[in-house]
Amino acid sequence: MTTMTDILTIDLVSVGATAATKEDAIMQAGQLLVQNGVVSPSYVEGMLAREQTMSTFLGNGVSIPHGTYDHLGDIERTGISVVQFPNGVSWGEDEDEIAYLVVGIAAKADEHITILSNLAEVVEDEAAVERLISTTDAQIIVDALSRQPELE
Tens of pLDDT along 38-80? 999 999 999 999 999 999 998 899 999 999 889 989 999 989 9
- Please give the residue that has the higher pLDDT: either 115 or 151: 115
Write down the pLDDT at residue 24.
98
Domain ranges of the chain: 12-146
| Contact (Cβ atoms closer than 8 angstroms) between residue 64 and residue 119 | yes
pLDDT class of 149 with cuts at 50, 70, 90: low
| Contact (Cβ atoms closer than 8 angstroms) between residue 87 and residue 101 | no
Is the CATH number of domain 12-146 3.40.930.10? yes
pLDDT class of 36 with cuts at 50, 70, 90: very high
Sequence-ordered alpha helix ranges (H) in 38-112: 42-53
- Greatest mean pLDDT among 2-6, 23-27, 57-61, 92-96 lies in 23-27
Residue 9: exposure state from Cβ atoms within 10 A (0-12, 13-18, ≥19): middle
- Please give the residue that has the higher pLDDT: either 127 or 18: 18
| 57-59, strands of its sheet edge to edge | 13-14, 79-90, 98-106, 62-63, 57-59
Q: Which amino acid is at 30?
A: G
Residue 152 has pLDDT above 70, yes or no: no
Write down the pLDDT at residue 68.
86
Residue 40: exposure state from Cβ atoms within 10 A (0-12, 13-18, ≥19): middle
- pTM value is 0.90
